[in-house]
Amino acid sequence: DTAVSQTPKYLVTQMGNDKSIKCEQNLGHDTMYWYKQDSKKFLKIMFSYNNKELIINETVPNRFSPKSPDKAHLNLHINSLELGDSAVYFCASSPGLAGGPDTQYFGPGTRLTVL
């Protein structure tokens, strides 16, 4: 069974389009995250949710809107896509909040290419 799953795995789209990425975890964790990994492999947190509540919004443009319908799901909607949004987006989850010793479990990633 996949612990953290994301769809789609690849996403190629034109500038200006709107797209969504979905994430689900079956680990029973309370906290979920979105990370962006750029072409230099720099991994940066975008958002975190704990029990469906937004905990961290890391100065991400408001074109990015996360939604957590329940604590097992965290989706990411991106409006008006720009070239600079091209990256790999990882969803992750952990039992508790990120600051402590809990392991974060990452999904397989969604490679977004904006043309």
Q: Shortest approach of another protein to residue 29 CB, angstroms?
A: 13
Half-sphere exposure (Cβ direction) of 88: Cα atoms closer than 13 Å: 13
Question: Looking at the chain, how many residues does it have?
Answer: 115
107 binds another protein (CB under 8 A): yes
Residue among 28, 69, 84, 101 that touches another protein (CB under 8 A): 101
Tell me which stretch binds another protein (CB under 8 A): 10-18, 21-29, 78-86, 97-105: 97-105
Report 14-73 residues binding another protein (CB under 8 A): 40-45, 48, 55-56, 58
Q: Which is nearer to another protein, 15 or 54 (CB)?
A: 54
Q: Which of 110, 111, 105 lies closest to 25 in space, CA to CA? A: 105
Distance CA 59, CA 77 (A): 16
Q: Does 90 participate in binding another protein (rule CB under 8 A)?
A: yes
Residue 91 has φ and ψ, to the nearest 5°, of -95, 150
